[in-house]
């Protein structure tokens, strides 16, 4: 039953290319339990460690402020090829140039899967979107669906919060 579904959401977001910053703020108050950052820009290892540490502190403070039981874990900055795709039941790739498959279509499939606990990853591209070659590689993974949110293009900083809200509502987690 759809009201029995419980989804564990993981945001997989690209660094903002111009600033090397991560849009943690919108995700810290969403329903995410884990947060990976894709390495789109070139950063030194020390800079990566400092950023992850800072983002974890931001996530902890925000989780406490919003009364969350779970503090999102900010994982290390990774290359998309190092992502463990098999750890997820479904990965939704938000792509502004997708024309056929909507997020609504995929949510219906998730609801009809008859699984009670799902691990869902959400890949969010950088400003300007993901590269077409990256999208084609992602489409080859069996648990990946490239989806559109419709004609509206959302900012990298806000799309995670919007999608987590949509999933929470559709999967019955806003009771």
Which has the closest alpha carbon to 32: 73, 4, 92? 73
Cα distance between residue 44 and residue 114, in whole Å: 44
Q: Tell me the whole-structure pTM to 2 decimals.
A: 0.77
CA distances from 122 to 35, 93, 125 (A): 10, 6, 10
pLDDT at 133 over 80: yes
pLDDT at 18 over 70: no
Q: What pLDDT sits at residue 1?
A: 38
Give per-residue pLDDT as tens, 47-62.
778 877 887 888 788 7
Q: What pLDDT sits at residue 20?
A: 47
Q: What pLDDT sits at residue 103?
A: 93
**C-alpha atoms less than 13 angstroms from C-alpha of 24 in its C-beta half-sphere:** 27
Tokens of 4: 């029995």
Q: What angle do CA 148, 146, 9 make, to 5 degrees?
A: 90
pLDDT at 79 over 60: yes
Residue that is written with structure tokens 């931001």 in the block: 58
Compare 147 and 68 and report the one with higher pLDDT.
147
Q: What pLDDT sits at residue 36?
A: 56
Q: What are phi and psi of 40, to 5 degrees?
A: -90, -35
Q: What is the mean pLDDT of residues 90-115?
A: 90
Task: Label residue 105 by pLDDT band (50, 70, 90).
Answer: very high
Cα distance between residue 46 and residue 164, in whole Å: 31
Question: For residues 172 and 2, is the Cβ–Cβ distance under 8 A?
Answer: yes
pLDDT at 159 over 90: no
């Amino acid at each position: 039953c759809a009201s029995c579904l419980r989804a564990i959401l993981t945001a997989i977001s690209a660094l903002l290319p111009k600033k090397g910053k991560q849009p943690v703020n919108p995700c810290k108050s969403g329903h995410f339990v884990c947060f990976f950052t894709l390495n789109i820009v070139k950063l030194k290892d020390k800079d990566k460690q400092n950023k992850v540490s800072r983002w974890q502190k931001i996530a902890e403070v925000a989780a406490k402020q919003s009364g969350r039981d779970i503090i999102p874990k900010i994982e290390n900055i990774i290359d998309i090829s190092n992502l463990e795709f098999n750890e997820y039941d479904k990965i939704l790739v938000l792509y502004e140039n997708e024309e056929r498959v909507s997020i609504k279509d995929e949510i219906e499939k998730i609801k009809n899967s008859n699984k009670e606990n799902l691990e869902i990853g959400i890949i969010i591209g950088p400003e300007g979107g993901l590269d077409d070659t990256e999208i084609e590689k992602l489409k080859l993974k069996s648990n990946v669906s490239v989806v559109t949110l419709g004609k509206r293009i959302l900012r990298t900083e806000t799309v995670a919060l919007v999608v987590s809200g949509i999933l929470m509502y559709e999967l019955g987690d806003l009771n």
